[in-house]
Amino acid sequence: MLEPELILLDEPAAGVNRTLLNDLLARLRALQQQGKTIVIVEHDMKVVMSLCEHLYVLDHGEVIASGPPEAIQRDERVMEAYFGR
């Protein structure tokens, strides 16, 4: 049986209690260690920042920033879109 190399997730943290979420994140990290690529659409920034190596931030369907979590956290366009500054 073939295993996928790319794994698409839409809001995996939505409506999930923290215990279940921690288990899910551990499983996703295990898949990363196996060399799997995981694409996540997520609004929970704690999840995104703890799991992702590279981010694309969209605002109204347009990419406004791309890069590692540390760079995204400091990007003024992201702050404006996320916090409405």
Q: Does some domain include residue 77?
A: yes
| Full residue range of the structural domain in which residue 73 is found | 53-85
Instruction: Name the residue among 45, 44, 43, 13 with its Cα closest to residue 28.
Output: 13
Asked if residues 52 and 37 have their Cβ atoms less than 8 Å apart, the reply is: no
Other C-beta atoms within 10 Å of 78: how many? 18
Q: Is the full-model pTM beyond 0.85? A: no
The tally of domains found in the chain comes to 2
What is the mean pLDDT of the segment spanning 56-84?
Answer: 93
Distances (CA, A) of 17 to 36, 46, 67: 25, 14, 29
Percentage of residues in the chain having pLDDT higher than 70: 99
Q: Does some domain include residue 48?
A: no
In this structure, the answer to whether residues 57 and 80 fall within a common structural domain is yes
Q: pLDDT at residue 1 above 80?
A: no
Q: Does some domain include residue 58?
A: yes
Q: pLDDT at residue 85 above 70?
A: no
The amino acid occupying position 62 is E
Percentage of residues in the chain having pLDDT higher than 90: 78
In this structure, the answer to whether residues 6 and 37 fall within a common structural domain is yes
Q: Does some domain include residue 47?
A: no
Instruction: Give the model confidence (pLDDT) of 9-41 as tens digits.
Output: 999 999 999 999 999 999 999 999 999 999 999
In this structure, the answer to whether residues 29 and 2 fall within a common structural domain is yes
Q: Does some domain include residue 26?
A: yes
